[in-house]
Structure 1
Amino acid sequence: MTGVPVPGVSADDAGPRIVGIVQARMGSSRLPGKVLRPLAGRSVLGRVVRAASDSGVLADLVVATSTDTVDDAVAAECARLDVPCHRGPVDDVLDRFLGALAAHPGDAVMRFTADCPLLDPEIITLVASVYRAVPGLDYASTSIARTLPRGLDVEIIRAETLRTLGRLATDHHRVHVTSYAYTHPELFRVLGVTLTPDRSALRLTLDTEQDWTLVRAIIDHFGDVSVPLAKLADWLDGQPRLRALNADVRQKNLEES
């Protein structure tokens, strides 16, 4: 992707109506309250909402949080950000997404998680472009054959496919929303979007205090802007101490909630 301009796709262009859904909860086993931590005067959730909006591909955007009273703070932040908020089950995240989709109908859903404050709007635009270009596709994601850092992946699923998952998925698949689709490629038309060069060794998500220290250092350097991945990766190439901060953090397995 380096040096190659990605064509913009407007939400008004002919094609499927894409709804963005951001899952956000205050509860986190390793870093509670992470989605509302401040970064350069903007919450982590606020940065995710901005990146999704700046992609220009979404016809609608909604935050899906839980009915737990601790998530009243998430709903309040959504009101401050002027973004719709749907509240549903704490653990059945798939049901929460289906409720958000019912309230904000669309032909396809782009799923975002609120612990990815370094999302690149250009990558969101690219994945939407790929999805629009392949008729009949059920699911597309950059994480099937990972070359992006954790925290910058983008996925999109056909709305009818998401509703099908609502009938078929059980156990941990209901927590991870789309995982039943990409683990059953014999049932669904699945496409992996691979970007080069391979930067999968970088960890740019927010799940631990080590992640927080790295993310905060990045935002302290770049400020309150969405940073293109190529620019960010080039800078981190010269920051071995920062890259080492969370290099040993273990990502949870799919079966772990």
Structure 2
Amino acid sequence: MVTASIQARMGSTRLPGKVLLSIRGRRTIDLVRQRCEAASSVDHIVFTIGDESPNEAIIKWCDRNGHRYVVGPEEDLLARHRLSLDQTGDGTLVRVTGDCPFVPPSEIDRLVDRHSGNGETYTSNATDRMPVGTAVDVLDRSVLRELAERGETHPAVPLRESPDEWGSVIDDSAAWAELGAAHTAVDTPADYWALVDAVRAVGLDPREVTEWVAENR
């Protein structure tokens, strides 16, 4: 079974608190959750939250809305995502970030399907061709454990940098790469307001938002 693990923290140099900003009345991380929920391949959704005190706001939001979460080391993303799998007992993890409210559910399903049939330990669409904000990582529990044993703290960077060593498949989507100039992650104030304008113009569909941003940003 598959756990979607949404990493979230309040700290951000360029836009503090961005994961709790509102877009059309929904928190950024709630939109991410909705994308994961819309993916037919996902069985469980867990927010993985850093343990610094400002993140209490995310914890309270999860509690108020009945969402599952784990709390782990702020700077050790690998440890936090492993806690998500420990909570659900699943064998496969989908990693998405809490500042990507328009990550396509279709990409989650495509990559989980590709991962289940390729016999590898890591499958991702994270390339320079894809729009920023569409990245999805799919990982086996076993590779997360091996990364931890080697002292790594990031669940994806080593796998992307040494794909042959780790058995990684990097598989971007031609359908989304044609919009590669778009930026739909909430990284800066300008990103946030562009998404607010996009949603006002076309609604909340990830494809339509990405197309609007590509044409108007």
Runs of 5+ consecutive residues of structure 2 not aligned to the other structure: none
Do structure 1's residue 160 and structure 2's residue 142 form an aligned pair? yes
Counterpart contact for 2:199–2:209, Cα < 8 Å: no
Do structure 1's residue 214 and structure 2's residue 194 form an aligned pair? yes
Q: 2:111 matched to which residue of 1?
A: 127
Following TM superposition, by how much is the alpha carbon of 1:234 offset from its aligned partner in structure 2, in angstroms?
Answer: 4.0
Match of 1:179 among 157, 171, 180: 157
Matches within 5 A, 1:61-140: 61-134=45-118, 136-140=119-123
* Greater fraction helix: 2
Note closer, same or farther for the CA distance 1:60–1:140 as it changes in structure 2 (3 Å cut). same
Counterpart contact for 1:127–1:141, Cα < 8 Å: yes
Following TM superposition, by how much is the alpha carbon of 1:88 offset from its aligned partner in structure 2, in angstroms?
Answer: 0.8
Counterpart contact for 1:98–1:166, Cα < 8 Å: no
Following TM superposition, by how much is the alpha carbon of 1:55 offset from its aligned partner in structure 2, in angstroms?
Answer: 0.7
Following TM superposition, by how much is the alpha carbon of 1:236 offset from its aligned partner in structure 2, in angstroms?
Answer: 4.1
SS of the aligned residue for 1:150 comes to: coil
Q: 1:232 matched to which residue of 2?
A: 209
Give the fraction of aligned pairs with identical amino acids, expressed as a percent.
24
Following TM superposition, by how much is the alpha carbon of 1:23 offset from its aligned partner in structure 2, in angstroms?
Answer: 0.4
Q: Which structure has the larger Rg over C-alpha atoms?
A: 1
Do structure 1's residue 192 and structure 2's residue 174 form an aligned pair? no
Partner deviation per Cα, 1:45-75 (whole Å, 9 max, x = no partner): 0000010111121111100002222111101
Runs of 5+ consecutive residues of structure 1 not aligned to the other structure: 1-16, 244-257
Matches of 1:195 and 1:205, distance apart in 2: 18
- Relative to the length of structure 1, the TM-score reads 0.78
SS of the aligned residue for 1:200 comes to: coil
Aligned AA (1:190): S
Q: 1:142 matched to which residue of 2?
A: 125
Aligned AA (1:181): L
Note closer, same or farther for the CA distance 1:79–1:156 as it changes in structure 2 (3 Å cut). same
Matches of 2:202 and 2:150, distance apart in 1: 44
Matches of 2:26 and 2:142, distance apart in 1: 34
Q: 1:251 matched to which residue of 2?
A: none
Following TM superposition, by how much is the alpha carbon of 1:31 offset from its aligned partner in structure 2, in angstroms?
Answer: 0.5
Matches of 2:211 and 2:45, distance apart in 1: 31
Partner deviation per Cα, 1:89-148 (whole Å, 9 max, x = no partner): 1111111112222122211100010000111111111111111222x21111111x4332
Matches of 1:166 and 1:101, distance apart in 2: 14
Counterpart contact for 1:122–1:228, Cα < 8 Å: no
Pairwise CA RMSD: 1.6
Counterpart contact for 2:182–2:213, Cα < 8 Å: no
SS of the aligned residue for 1:160 comes to: helix
Aligned AA (2:133): G
Partner deviation per Cα, 1:3-46 (whole Å, 9 max, x = no partner): xxxxxxxxxxxxxx111100000111111000000111110000
SS of the aligned residue for 1:187 comes to: helix
